[in-house]
């Protein structure tokens, strides 16, 4: 079985590729040698350019990319689409409680379980606060999954909204 790079390395490689493409154009980044080092007049100038790249990248994220923002939306999705619920927390956290029907695939080993994540069925990731959810959604999107969403209210939001 082919071993895929860990998500952080993958995110770095994609980010570096995007920076090269945005600075030098797609075709010349592929065909030409690496561009010469850029020298800025001041640190403020370099930061302003980086802020622009970051801002442009964030604005290019399509609506709904991140996921399901309300518990009632998740409940409706569960009732109508039968998504695979993936809890990306550690096993010890999962054992203390989880959304009914969820499977536990910890974020740190997500790449080892790609065969367990379907491409033909909705997949919803969650954790305890939303941070690991976002990392997992991004990593799976980079691995070519277009059927994955996050539930950023996460387990804490589920508990709050279902026990009122």
Active site residues: 127
What's the token pair of residue 55? 């801002």
Per-position DSSP letters for 106-131, written without gaps between them: -GGGGGGGGGGS-SSS-EEEE-SSSH
Select from 124, 127, 118, 125 the least CA-distant residue to 90. 127
Helix (H, G, I), strand (E, B) or coil at 151: coil
Per DSSP, what are the bridge partners of residue 31? none
- How far is residue 24 from each of residues 3, 31, 42, 57, 79, measured CA to CA in Å? 31, 11, 21, 16, 48
């Amino acid at each position: 079985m082919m071993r895929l790079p860990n998500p952080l390395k993958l995110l770095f490689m994609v980010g570096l590729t995007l920076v090269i493409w945005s600075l030098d154009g797609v075709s010349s980044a592929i065909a030409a040698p690496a561009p010469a080092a850029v020298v800025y007049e001041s640190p403020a100038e370099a930061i302003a350019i980086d802020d622009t790249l970051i801002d442009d990248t964030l604005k290019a994220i399509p609506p709904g990319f991140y996921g399901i923002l309300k518990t009632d939306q998740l409940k409706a999705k569960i009732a109508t689409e039968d998504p695979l619920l993936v809890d990306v927390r550690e096993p010890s956290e999962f054992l203390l409680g989880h959304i009914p029907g969820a499977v536990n695939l910890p974020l740190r080993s997500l790449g080892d379980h790609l065969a367990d994540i379907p491409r033909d069925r909705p997949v919803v990731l969650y954790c305890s606060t939303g941070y690991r959810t976002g990392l997992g959604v991004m990593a799976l999107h980079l691995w070519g999954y277009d059927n994955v969403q996050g539930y950023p209210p996460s387990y804490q939001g589920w508990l709050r909204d279902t026990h009122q």
